[in-house]
Structure 1
């Protein structure tokens, strides 16, 4: 802010200085020209006074020589008999008894010395103006600094009334946002608690189904849903001082694919799984499991039942890459597929956003491409736990070659 004020003051004072210098130069030159004309008129009047009492050529010639204009060769006299005395041939200035006195105007030099003096005074005045101009802005700058450093706390400042009003508006907006967030958390907690009742009924119904692969999968799905509801409720009450957890991507993917591979077998899908060696990322197992579930749910929801699906995990150079690809028709609008809430298939549109948020939380990226199976390939790069490389940029890449 101080630099902006300084530039504004320099521009304003500079313009005033330029106008001042131009005006001063014009006035000084005009004054010098007026003084030269007045001196010429005095010289002509002296010669005219002599002509009034005598027309003797020698007397007139001596008078001309004693004047400044005559000594410079700019004053001449034409007597009544036509005799010209002196040099120069300017316009007639005075006529006396048939004689004419003429003066050639003098060349007036530009007063550079005086202009340089004025310029020096103007430069000093310019610096003084900038220094004094900062003083009225000091309360504004201090108030803006207080406003900029008030992130996360109530804004309290003293300054111009407009900035105080702005601070009050920011406080009101912050308080309103906090209230909305609190209401949102209460609503989510209320909905989650209400889901526990139908979940309990589903568990009873699942137990009544009996035994068999289908019943086991139903019970597993109900158990997963109940676990997710509990996790949502716990997330609404974070534990202060809780350390950042890590998880093994390979083990989490294997655990989640135990469910999804069975689901793929029921549909007749080919399911390829390649998790490789253990690799740790700074995410909780539940968070990474939610990513895997979101991506696989997209595949099973938006691709034909016979379309193959592949899941792989690769560790390389401080990055852990999770790839989920399918043999479907691909993404119709990859430019907006990563926008939160955007979906072309009638779903909530949060699956890819959940994956993107998890990758970016570790400093990684998400890539949307065409895969080797012919459909979409979502490639998530997670920063490996305890790695010290810089975060990748850009975080969200949307790459798509060809059209489905």
Structure 2
């Protein structure tokens, strides 16, 4: 309406020219006026469409970054508004699925408490005090792990930023795995710095990731194969290394979720990778000096 009113004086001028016998010139003025009006209207429509598409892009970006509460106000042409409605539905659907998954994991973890309690009772009946204490420690670790799963699934995180000494965690897990290493005639070499190596990952998380990598050594190398655990500090980077002297692995092998040739779920390395990413780092697979696999959790120093 506004463009039409704005061009009204021009149209009146054209009609006056036609009335004065200037037909060609008056007609030309009318055509120019219509072209200008069309351009103005087209520009307004294009601006409205661009604004609607821009809103869609912003909300899609927020959803992609993990903000599942992001929603768009459908606007613009019907086709664009329809895309906005579908995008809102997609965000709600994904949020619902994740909530269901978290509750399922928490519920399954709660169900583990009953057999764990039974296991603890059996351990307390052991006659050997040394063995009883050792097994009790393992059961306590299992209980702690289940509690962490429940809290993580329900997003009951501690308010403080997670942090631990990588060297202390590696030393602790080395003591745990040393028993099995001795049983399988494996030499375990430990190389740790004298000073603490703080990283932005919780001790439980880093320990679980390290267990995954060490477990791969036992799964994929023959008995008697030596392996090493190490922590390297290079400036503001901390590396947690698990290296073996086995046949090695092809790059990318066993890193895809759900793929494993040993009957496991194949989710272990995914856990290790996500632990590294939560700490601002990455998980690398390389080749050691002896040709074996060399896994490195590369983390920024905290």
What TM bracket, shorter-length normalisation?
0.7 to 0.9
1:3-402 matched pairs, under 5 angstroms: 133-150=42-59, 151=62, 152-211=69-128, 214-239=131-156, 242-276=159-193, 277-331=195-249, 333-385=250-302
Mark the runs of 5 or more structure 1 residues left unpaired by the alignment: 1-124, 386-404
- What SS does the corresponding residue of 1:219 show, helix, strand or coil? helix
- Quote the offset at 1:198 in angstroms: 0.5
User: Mean alpha-carbon deviation: is it higher for 295-304 or for 315-324?
Assistant: 295-304
Could you list the per-position Cα deviations for residues 174-233 of structure 1 after superposition, in whole angstroms to 9, with x for gaps in the alignment? 111111111111110111011110111111112222326655443333222221111111
Structure number with greater CO (CA < 8 Å, separation at least 6) is 2
Are the counterparts in 1 of residues 276 and 297 from structure 2 also a CA contact under 8 Å?
yes
Specify the alignment match of 2:15 in structure 1: none
TM-score by length of 1: 0.59
User: Mean alpha-carbon deviation: is it higher for 333-342 or for 158-167?
Assistant: 333-342
Q: Which has the higher Rg, Structure 1 or Structure 2?
A: 1
Size of the aligned set, in residue pairs, is: 260
Aligned pair in 2 of structure 1 residues 211, 126: CA closer, same or farther (>3 Å)? farther
Q: Distance in 2 between matches of 1:237 and 1:218?
A: 29
Q: Distance in 2 between matches of 1:212 and 1:263?
A: 20
TM-score by length of 2: 0.78
Are the counterparts in 2 of residues 326 and 376 from structure 1 also a CA contact under 8 Å?
yes
- Quote the offset at 1:257 in angstroms: 1.6
Are the counterparts in 2 of residues 341 and 349 from structure 1 also a CA contact under 8 Å?
yes
- Quote the offset at 1:127 in angstroms: 10
- What SS does the corresponding residue of 2:295 show, helix, strand or coil? strand
Mark the runs of 5 or more structure 2 residues left unpaired by the alignment: 1-33, 63-68
Could you list the per-position Cα deviations for residues 54-105 of structure 1 after superposition, in whole angstroms to 9, with x for gaps in the alignment? xxxxxxxxxxxxxxxxxxxxxxxxxxxxxxxxxxxxxxxxxxxxxxxxxxxx
Give the root-mean-square deviation of aligned CA atoms. Answer: 2.5
Could you list the per-position Cα deviations for residues 246-288 of structure 1 after superposition, in whole angstroms to 9, with x for gaps in the alignment? 1110111112222111221222211111121211111111111
